[in-house]
Chain A
């Protein structure tokens, strides 16, 4: 039983995480999935962490101002770690990719940026891989890289902008 479970998970991860050989849409599928799960996990951590603004998980009524400030400053010291900052920069990439690519997917699901059905005369290019929607995919990658560079600059002062 456990063996079956493991093989199901391994098979799934193989097909989800290895987008090779199939073109950019398969990459978008993998990246969208990975970034979505990563952002959701970050969201959980973020909600828990910002709970420290009012003094942490045990606080359910308005706490003393100084206590909350102290807990928040402790949290800030804990979070001042280059590893977390690097993670946030990666997250910036994921958020921007997921957002713009997500808009592309919503548009595609309503058939908006796709081509029309035509007779496939060779050399043939599938209308589902229209220039418009490929363009939005690359735009999402571009914006994601820009966001990551911006985040790296904010956290590590690389560019000195």
Chain B
């Protein structure tokens, strides 16, 4: 992928995070008190209730992918500015992508299983 496209995606994912992250923060802080949002499963905004709701769980998945891309691309840019060299650049690209994908896989697992757990 061209670096120009990557940076455009960086901006687009950033703007997407404002929406998805806004919903995420609103469910935790604004729509119900924080200590109730942290409960396991006995009120409409408890942790498992959020995963049970297909729309909110979907938002979490979208947020996961967006932040993984945006955050790790940012990290990649910082690391590439630190030092330049063919092997170094390649190594940074690979390591950053692997960690980001691993994190998305792990987070998706959480969302999928928690969603099924909520169906009970």
Direct contact of A and B (CB under 8 A): yes
| A99-112 interface code vs B (CB 8 A; 1 in, 0 out) | 10011001001000
What residues of B have a CB within 8 angstroms of the CB of A60 in the complex? Answer: 109, 113
The CA of A102 and the CA of B70, in the complex, are separated in Å by 12
| B26-46 interface code vs A (CB 8 A; 1 in, 0 out) | 000100001000101100000
A47 lies within 8 A of chain B by Cβ = yes
What residues of B have a CB within 8 angstroms of the CB of A54 in the complex? Answer: 109-110, 113-114, 117
Q: B107 touching A47 by the CB < 8 A rule?
A: yes
Which residues from 81 to 99 on chain A have a C-beta closer than 8 Å to any C-beta of chain B?
95, 99
Chain B at the A interface: SS class: helix
The CA of A53 and the CA of B111, in the complex, are separated in Å by 9
A40 lies within 8 A of chain B by Cβ = yes
A116 lies within 8 A of chain B by Cβ = no
Q: B82 touching A8 by the CB < 8 A rule?
A: yes
Q: A61 touching B75 by the CB < 8 A rule?
A: no
Binds B, one of A18-26, A67-75, A122-130, A131-139: A67-75
